[in-house]
Amino acid sequence: MLVSLLLCLSLGEMTVPTAPEAFPHFEGKNLNGEQVQFAEWDRPVTLIFVAFKQEQQPQVDQWVTALEPLKEQHPSLDYVELPTVKKVSRFVKYMIYRGMRSGIKDPHQRQRIVTQYVDVPDYMNRLNLSDPEVIATYAVCNEGRILKHWLGPVDDTFIEELKTVLDETAAGESGQTTADAG
């Protein structure tokens, strides 16, 4: 136990890698077949879920479920899912698209899913991510600036931090400080 304590003290507090200042530009076709790009979003805050493996979808779904109570207080809160896949041929893209589309019937959910076909190591580097086994969630303002980011499945701490971001953003839009809003 003493060794563990000394190890923790010597390593210091574990920190989440720093996110870039702005989310990288992206564009693509959502599962409704519409071309979208980040610049088209007019929401004060959008959550962006970046997942690299199909097995990570339950973690994204947990985040989405956790957002529902927040939407009552922040109705403009929205999200987009960016399943991120290595570059593949057009035929493989088509098969992935058709497979995902056939598995998701809700047009509102389809609208929020834009698969990214990228050089995965380069994309991870641009987002300062080190592990494709972990989902990344970004709170991004309408100018593309990253307000906050989280790694891994949702938890109560992440939701409290997100509430703070949303409250500060809402206060900033109305000209109030968070102290004024409370």
Specify the pLDDT at position 26. Answer: 85
Superfamily assignment of 22-174 in CATH? Glutaredoxin (3.40.30.10)
CB atoms within 10 A of CB 14: 6
User: Residue 50: what are its φ and ψ, rounded to 5°?
Assistant: -110, 120
pLDDT digits (tens, 9 = 90+) for 61-79: 999 999 999 999 999 899 9
Separation between Cα atoms, residue 73 and residue 30, nearest integer Å: 27
Say whether pLDDT at 21 is over 60: yes
Number of neighbours of residue 99 by Cβ within 10 angstroms: 11
pLDDT at position 27 over 70: yes
pTM of the model: 0.83
Domain boundary assignment for the chain: 22-174
**Is the Cβ–Cβ distance between 171 and 177 less than 8 Å?**
yes
Question: Residue 147: pLDDT above 90?
Answer: yes
Chain centroid to Cα 147, Å, comes to 11
What integer pLDDT is reported at residue 180 of this predicted model? 44
